[in-house]
Structures are given as C-alpha cells and as structure tokens.
Structure 1
Amino acid sequence: MQRPKRAVRGATLNTESSRFNLPAREADGDWLDDRASLDDLPPPLRTTVTVERPRTIITHNNSPDVPFDRSVNAYRGCEHGCIYCFARPTHAFHDLSPGLDFESKLFAKPDAPALLRAELMKPSYRVAPIAMGTNTDPYQPIERIWRITRQCIEVLAETQHPLMITTKSDRVLDDIEMLAAMAVDGLVSVMVSITSLDPRIAMTVEPRAPSPRRRLIAVEKLAAAGVPVQVSIAPVIPAITDGEMEHILEAAANAGARRASFIPVRLPFEVAPLFRAWLDEHFPDRAGKVMSMIQSIRGGRDNDPGFGTRMRGSGPWYDLMLTRFRIGCTRHGLNGERVKLRTDLFRPSEGAQMRLF
C-alpha cells in the first residue's frame, strides 16, 4: 500500500468557483512560476492576513443538525489546511479560491470583541450558548499573534455567558486558566477534533494542524482542569481513517474526555473537486474506492446537503460506522452524561449606563 505524501498545504490546487464566476488562477510569468521546472520545487506560498471589519459578529442559524443557534468566528479562512473543510466555499464570497487561497489568504476580525460586547448589551438579546470554531478554527496559528479568540472569551467570561469551543489545536491551552474558571460555573465545554492518530495520515489530511499527540495532551490537561471535554472524530474518511475509530475512542477516554461524536466526510460545493484532486495526489491507489464509499454514504452523490441528514449518512457503510461507534463509546464509558451549560448567570456589560439592581 502506497504511503501518503507529506503535504505542505492541504489543497493541491487553486480552483475557481463555479457559483460566483471566480476567474481561474493562472501563472503570471515571473521566475517563481518557473521554479518547478528549474529545481523541482513549487513556488513558495506565503500566508497573508487581511483585516475584516464586519458590522456584527454573532451569526445565527436555525439548523437542526447542530446543537447551537449562534456562533462567533474571529477569522475567515484557516491555515490548518484540512482538505475536507466544509467552510472552504465561503472564500468564494471574497472572490478568492476555496483551494489554496482559503488556507493562505486569511482574514482577521480585530473588532470582534467590541462587537460581541455591544451585541450582548442589546435589550433584545436572549442568552444561549455561543459556539466558536464552527466555521474556521479559533485557535489556528494566527491566534498566537492576533489573540482575537482570547479577547472574545474574556468578554464571555466577564458577562458569564455560556460558550462552546471546537478546535483541532492544543493552542486552546493558552486560555486554560480562563476556561477552567468558567467551567466551575458550568459555562464552557470544549470539543477537540481528532481525525487520525497516525502522524503521517494527520499531516497529510490536516497539514498545518497540531499533531494528534498534542491534541490528546490538550484533552488530558483540559479534563484535569475541570473543563468538560468531548472528542469529535470528524470527519471519518472511508478507507483512510475509518479503521481508527475504536483506537481514537479509547485514546479519548483515557485522556479524560466525557463524550465523543463522529461525522462522515462531507464534500459540499467546491470541496468535492479539491478532495478528488487531493486523493489523486496522495492516495492514488484507493481514490476510486474512497469516492465510491462516500457516495454510498451520501445517497449516490458526493454530498448530501439536506438538513437533518447532512451530518449523518445512510446505507450499509454508515450503519457499520454507527454500530462501531456506539460499541466503542459503551466500552470506554463515553456519552454517559450530557453537559448542559448554564444560562441563568448571564450579566451583560453595564456600559455607560449603570445597572439599577
């Protein structure tokens, strides 16, 4: 069996968007474009960050597929470069490619903490858990510099607002003291995504995300600090990572995770051709098998976009995954209790007007 190649970036190309008439990326003729023919090296791809100034920061949804109705995203695009990322198509709204642009041309929202505070102060606001990490990772590498995620958490901690975090990064430990303090009052839970325990597989599927070992250490430290932790095996890629499900569940339980979940790989919009090109590059020996199994799970298509079914699947392959997952959770004592975050402690910032009571 051919071993996967080490990936420097996730996507292997910069596709145009078929929905927004995004022009195809072409070589501009400078010496960097000839680098491959001169010394067998691709042109260097540098990460850039552009400041984005949104008017609001809380995004609302009414999806039956997720356990929250609002979220905050401090960044647009993600340097982790996960090839399967369902958020890739959002870059097309900026006339950028869901491919390499998504993981190298990033946007930061430094006004997010102030916007969040202002929205929480509105008389019409009704408290419910806010999710972070639903579109792109709040702890991707640029968080070390920008610290926007941390500043947003500071606002939520100050106002005693419930928070749900999803991340693939052990950088969440940078904020462990604040999260531990919120956990004492039942205000926070963290979900750590672990797709594979094999370092070679992980660095191919998620080239710039921290290693599986570092993520498990993060689970262990968060659990030891009293923060409720869940491990998400998301996504499960048939014929590449699906054989690791039981091992990931065991490792998660041993690290102190209370709950676990899984989602079969989703390939919405422009993600499907990017994923196919990635398969041809890194797993040519089984590319056809992988896509055949995905289509079996997704009703004969590359993706099922339907509300109520898109996060799950159907057919014998999905049924087998689900059975294995349930047996693994039972064996390792996972999912025995639900974490319910408190909403009764919420106190919005006073601003210029002092509270009467």
Structure 2
Amino acid sequence: MKIRAITAFSTNVEKNTINELEEKLNEIKIDTLTKRISLPETPKNLDLGKLLDLINNNDIIYSLVSLRQNDPRLSQIKDILSSSERVYANILIKNDDIDNAVKLLTKLEPSEASRFALLINDEFLMTPYFPTSTSNVLRNSFALSLLYVKDIIEGKGIISLQKADEIGKKIQKCTNLKYLGIDISLSPWKEESVGEIIERKSNKIFSRGNIWAVGELNKLIFSLAWNAKVTPIGYSETMLPVGEDYVLTKRVEEGSLNLSQLIGMTFACAAGLDMIGIEENEELYKNIIKDSIAIQFTKRRPYGIRIIPSRGEEKIYIKEFGIIPTIKVV
C-alpha cells in the first residue's frame, strides 16, 4: 500500500490559510506520491487570476477552481490551467445546459484537459482525487487516497486500509488538521492495474461479465472498509482512468474496448469516464455528457468526466501521464 495523496481541505480562499496548510503539509514526512490542497467553491465575482496569487512555488498541487456550469468565468479556466501544471479545476454539472462547458473542453490542450473535469452531482464533492475536489469544511482538514491494487490482488486489503487509517491518525496528531477519512476508491497507476483485476474476475476487456466484475469490486472495497473500520469519503468506488491503467490502455489501443463499452462499465459503479482520448467534436461531447447525466441520475452517485480532446491522433502524449490512447467511438 502506498499513500497516493494527502489532501488538505481549506476553510476559505485566503492567502494566510493556504500558507498555513502549505506549511503543515511540508512538515509531514510520511512517504506519499503527492501533497494537495483543495479550495472551497470559488467565491462569486472573484477574478480567477487572483487565485494564482494564493499559491507558492513548491511541489504541492491545488484544486484551485470550482465553478457551477452557468458561471460567466468559465471562459477564464483555460488561462488558469495554462499558467501552471500544479493547478486543477472542475465544473459542477446539474442539468443539460452544457454548451459553455463543452466549448471550453474543446479548447483545452492535452495537459490542461488532464487537470480539468466535469462533476455530475447534486453538489461539489469532497475527495482527495483531483480534478473533481472541492473543500467544504468548517475546520481545516485532510483526507487520504491510496494505491493498493496489488494488496487487493494478494488479499491484503483490510490490512492496507488499517495501516492507512493509522497514518491518517498520526498526521492529525502532528498537524492538528482534522482527519476526515479515506477515499477508498480502487484506482490504478500503470502496472498496478484495475483492468487486470477485472479480467481475472471475468474475461478480457471488453467481454460480457466485465460490468458484473466492476460491481463486485465495489462490493469488495466497501466490505473491506467496513471490516477495517475506516471512514470512506468522496467517490469510494472502483476507478477506470484509462490513461493511468496499462491493461485498459492496451485494450483501447487494440480496439477491443470502445467508448460505448467503457461507458457501460461506468454504469456499473465505476466513478466516471476518466483520462481517455476522444475525438474533438462538440456534438459528441454533448451527447456523452447527457448520457452521463442519465447514468448519474440512476446511480445516485457522483460521476466525473475527464476527456482529453483528440485532434486526429491515435495516441496523445502528456508529460505527467505518458501515452493516452484515443478510443473508438462506435
């Protein structure tokens, strides 16, 4: 088990508070892939450029912008994302008035798109997972996300969650930040592949039985959390970010996993359509989002969308992630 992220949640959008959280995160000596700060919903009438004044030159990454779908400042998001590779943004989608969000998405370069997401939900989401992270706390707090695919395969899931929970409690004691819990989502990173687990439970992706396998993984991780006595927050579901999972990437590249099939698996309780190249087409994007709205309404669970616009490439390269394949739309 590895701590994937230690994410601090800020009570406000003020320089002093952000500085304090940066100092506390930098004091934590526990090994983690990233340290993060998530800000509250962006205050109304605040120019987004002002948010850049809040962050300092360090290795921390920031969920800096959280806007609702009709906010006139959507047009500023591209400039914010292009200003720094440590900045992330999300838009809350609650209905099918999505024209402005789609127009923004089609303008993003690959690295910018990898740090931008649409969240379909009733409200913003408190999760350590970026880009769809928004703080909503009365006291400065934090939560953890994990990389524990290998432990699940080896039957060590409960032990991993217990160890992570102990780490969270130690961090609370040394920082005085409130420990909110763990987003127990089963998420991949390259060779630690969720796709591999799905194929072990059913057949090669995509085959009949894969959707069942995704649902079974969700039952499993909730059972592990219950037995480990940890507090789940955020998505806490199986995640299928294609560009972060070598098996999913391979299946897209060989053509055995197409867009319809991937969306079908998200219906069975994966957290959303994530880190996948899709040909740049406004009408296609609108229809994908509308279908996702219907799925979210049925699931009654948060649903994230992170699309990397493809402009004729079969493969898209992003420095932070490597190769992102473009999926067949059929």
The one of the two structures with greater contact order (alpha-carbon pairs below 8 A, sep at least 6) is 1
Q: Structure 1 length normalisation: TM-score?
A: 0.31
Q: Structure 2 length normalisation: TM-score?
A: 0.33
Structure exhibiting the larger radius of gyration computed from Cα positions: 1
Higher strand share: 2
